[in-house]
Amino acid sequence: QVQLVESGGGSVQTGGSLRLSCAVSGRFFRINDMGWYRQGPGTPRELVANISRGGSTNYADSVKGRFTISRDNAKNTVDLQMNSLKPEDTAVYYCNARYSRSSAWGLQEHDVWGQGTQVTVSA
């Protein structure tokens, strides 16, 4: 089984910071893209930031300049540093990873999601 475990969520006041961490465990050939998504009360699940195995990053416009995604390929972890938090950042944040599994039929890609961690930003 491949699973993700998130940590670092919590409550913070406007302007504060949080750091989310996600660790991948299980059996896989390699982890490819990793990312953070969030789902607030009035929005569907949306991409916050993702990062390729080589370190290329992509951010939602709403978090550019405030959030930073990073990963450690040796540890199979991905972090999200969130600064200058706003109430609109309040959401459940989900870690996502795309991983490859090898079989007799070749290499296949799979998605795995964490259970989510709550981030609450109060005014």
Give pLDDT tens digits for 80-107: 999 999 999 999 999 999 999 988 999 9
Confidence band for 65, pLDDT divided at 50, 70 and 90: very high
The average pLDDT across 45-63 equals 97
Name the residue type at position 117: T
Structure confidence at residue 25 (pLDDT): 94
Q: What percent of the chain has pLDDT over 70?
A: 100
Indicate the average pLDDT of the chain.
95
- Output 41 or 58, whichever has higher pLDDT: 58
Long-range contacts (CB closer than 8 Å, 24 or more residues apart) made by 36-42: 36/69, 36/78, 36/80, 36/93, 36/94, 36/95, 36/96, 37/93, 37/94, 37/96, 38/89, 38/91, 38/92, 38/93, 38/94, 38/119, 39/91, 39/92, 39/94, 39/116, 40/88, 40/90, 40/91, 40/92
Residue 11 pLDDT > 90: yes
The average pLDDT across 31-35 equals 96
Phi, then psi, of 35 in degrees rounded to 5: -160, 170
Q: Report how far residue 97's alpha carbon sits from residue 57's, in angstroms, rounded to the nearest whole number.
A: 14
